[in-house]
Chain A
Amino acid sequence: MLEKLYARDAYGQALVKLGKDNPNIVVLDADLSGSTRTALFAKEFPKRFFNFGVAEQNMMATAAGLASCGKIVFASTFAMFAVGRAWDQVRNSICSNNFDVKIVATHSGLTVGPDGSSHQAIEDIALMRAIPANMTIVVPCDAHETTQAIYTAVKTPGPMYIRLGRSKVTTIEGKGDFQIGKSCSLRQGRDITIIACGIMVEQALKASVELSKQGIEARVINMHTVRPLDNQAIIKAAEETKGIVVCEEHVINGGLGSAIDDVVLANKPIFMARVGIKERFGQSGEGDELMAEYGLTANDIIKACKQILDRY
């Protein structure tokens, strides 16, 4: 049985550990500290934690002010509110000033589940990618990668968006050390490449096992950093395999798939397919039901791989 953990637990625990050694770390939340797990930090370091209530715009612009005085600021809430509600503050107060603000958003994607569409941020990566410069975007695939991403964030200057989900996630084996902008290859293969981020990495691996049984060897890449992208790994995959399937728990417009498309088109055009949400809002349901309804399962990935291979 593979280990399943909450990425947000890993986040809260990492904050507490980092907070002990680094008095410059300040953590902010907007009335969701129990859910985002920043409450763990609040308990240990009450003087360096500020809850702003249901006021995300104020939280983000205040984060900028704190960072202007040398603080490393972690600001957390659900992805919908961090990114949607406060986009202008994130763009103008945080990113254009290139401040050390790390937005760690939880409850991203469809798998928020029963809360439904208003709470399912499925366009947050696109919104963060649209910011002209400075913003690093990381989508960890499990709790361990989350811990590493948080540790790395403290050592990396500038703004960062780290996207976490609500549900427990299976620990992915063999990832190696986390490095911003450097993807990790989880499985070798010469027939086709599957690139995924976040919870879709597990689905990609499942798909590759099934494909292998059918004689198709898929390369699986965990593209945890959406920006800056690991162009080298993408170009190599385009040169060495017959096509690339990109998988994300996000709309297909403007997310990881769009980012990879840009690299492939400019360097080595090849067949591409997307596994993602296509022109729809979310809805209530259990996480696994929604994944099936919106075409985000291992089976959907297998289908996409075969569609490409059928062209040859």
Chain B
Amino acid sequence: MMPPQDKIKQLEAKAKILRKSVIQMLSTAASGHPGGSLSSADIISALYFHVLRHDPKNPTWPERDRFHLSKGHACPIVYAALAESGYFPKQELTKLRKLGSLLQGHPDRRTPGIEVGSGSLGQGLSVGLGMALAAKIDKKDYRVYVLLGDGEVQEGNVWEAAMASAHYKCENLCAIVDHNGFQIDGKVNDIMNIEPLAEKWKAFGWNTISIDGHKMEEILKAFEQAAMVLDRPSVIIANTVKGKGVSFMEHVADFHGRAPNNDETKQALEELE
């Protein structure tokens, strides 16, 4: 079923709000990771404002879908979505990375809406597998979504989890790879080639869907398609642009882990208007 155009427009508008929020947050914090937050903004918008069954007023609702950010360094985009959803006041976003803050430099359970802390890469798909197995034991119908980075799949633990998720036929588990092509030291395939990525997931027994991770319609269709497969987990390989939406951050490895300065912040916010 094709999602209505006004829904798509609304989710695109939300993604823009989230991107601006990320720039403001990182500029105030003066550190953090803009590149991977901006590349996953459209996916996060789709998840928090359309796909996920959740209740921001009741973050521990047992029937909620679970979202886990395995690429923990992209937490600003999730914090933006949580604040926009109403998990906590937007004022909190100004305290990112500050001493005593609800919003740690990498995800932490002290934040309402964060299920499990992350940051050390490679572990999140296993965490999602655990959530998916718990749903099966409890005969609950919630789904589990895990967002991974493409550099992250260099971690061996990811493939241990991929093997086990297919072995236990976790159809309730959906991984998304934010395939933006960059990691800290440069281009992913220069640092350590991960291709052919889709074939790897297929070989591990996953329903594999490749999309343009910035086309809202494709994103929504991919999530729908994933939910229809009943005998294996699904992975959405979202081809994205690192730093998407801010011209001077796009495809620039330097903005993996550097916050914008004042001038850059001003320009970025203008571009996102």
| A-to-B contact residues, CB < 8 Å | 26, 47-48, 50, 52-53, 55, 57-71, 88-89, 92-93, 96-98
Q: Find out whether the CB atom of A92 lies under 8 angstroms from the CB atom of B123.
A: yes
Q: Find out whether the CB atom of A68 lies under 8 angstroms from the CB atom of B115.
A: yes
**Binary contact readout B113-136 vs A (1 if CB under 8 angstroms, 0 otherwise):** 001111110111011111111110
Q: Find out whether the CB atom of B117 lies under 8 angstroms from the CB atom of A97.
A: yes
In the bound complex, CA of A60 to CA of B161 (Å): 11
Q: Find out whether the CB atom of B127 lies under 8 angstroms from the CB atom of A68.
A: yes
B198 an interface residue at 8 Å Cβ cutoff? no
> Which residues from chain B contact A62 at a C-beta distance below 8 Å?
126-127, 129-130, 133, 161, 164
Q: Find out whether the CB atom of A89 lies under 8 angstroms from the CB atom of B160.
A: no
In the bound complex, CA of A98 to CA of B109 (Å): 10
Q: Write 24 A-B pairs (CB below 8 A) sorted by A numbering.
A: A26-B137, A50-B133, A53-B164, A55-B163, A58-B160, A58-B164, A59-B126, A61-B123, A62-B127, A62-B133, A63-B130, A64-B116, A64-B126, A65-B126, A65-B128, A66-B131, A69-B131, A71-B137, A89-B126, A89-B157, A92-B118, A93-B117, A97-B109, A97-B116
Known: A62-B161, A65-B116. 17 other contacts (CB 8 A): A26-B137, A48-B137, A50-B133, A61-B123, A61-B126, A62-B127, A64-B126, A64-B130, A65-B126, A66-B130, A66-B133, A68-B66, A68-B130, A89-B157, A93-B116, A93-B123, A97-B117
Query: How close is A202's CB to chain B, nearest CB, in angstroms?
Result: 38
Query: How close is A86's CB to chain B, nearest CB, in angstroms?
Result: 9
In the bound complex, CA of A165 to CA of B111 (Å): 40
Q: How many residues on B have C-beta within 8 angstroms of the other chain's C-beta atoms?
A: 32
> Which residues from chain B contact A50 at a C-beta distance below 8 Å?
133, 168
B138 an interface residue at 8 Å Cβ cutoff? yes
In the bound complex, CA of A26 to CA of B132 (Å): 13
| Known interface pairs A62-B126, A67-B130, A70-B134; A57-B120 also in contact (CB < 8 Å) | no
B156 an interface residue at 8 Å Cβ cutoff? yes
A69: contacting residue among B109, B118, B138, B157, CB under 8 A? B138
Query: How close is A295's CB to chain B, nearest CB, in angstroms?
Result: 38
In the bound complex, CA of A70 to CA of B126 (Å): 16
Q: Find out whether the CB atom of B137 lies under 8 angstroms from the CB atom of A47.
A: yes
B123: contacting residue among A66, A67, A71, A89, CB under 8 A? A89
In the bound complex, CA of A70 to CA of B129 (Å): 14
> Which residues from chain B contact A92 at a C-beta distance below 8 Å?
117-120, 123
Task: Name the CB-closest residue of A to B131.
Answer: A65
**Binary contact readout B80-113 vs A (1 if CB under 8 angstroms, 0 otherwise):** 0000000000000000000000000000110000
> Which residues from chain A contact B133 at a C-beta distance below 8 Å?
26, 50, 62, 65-66
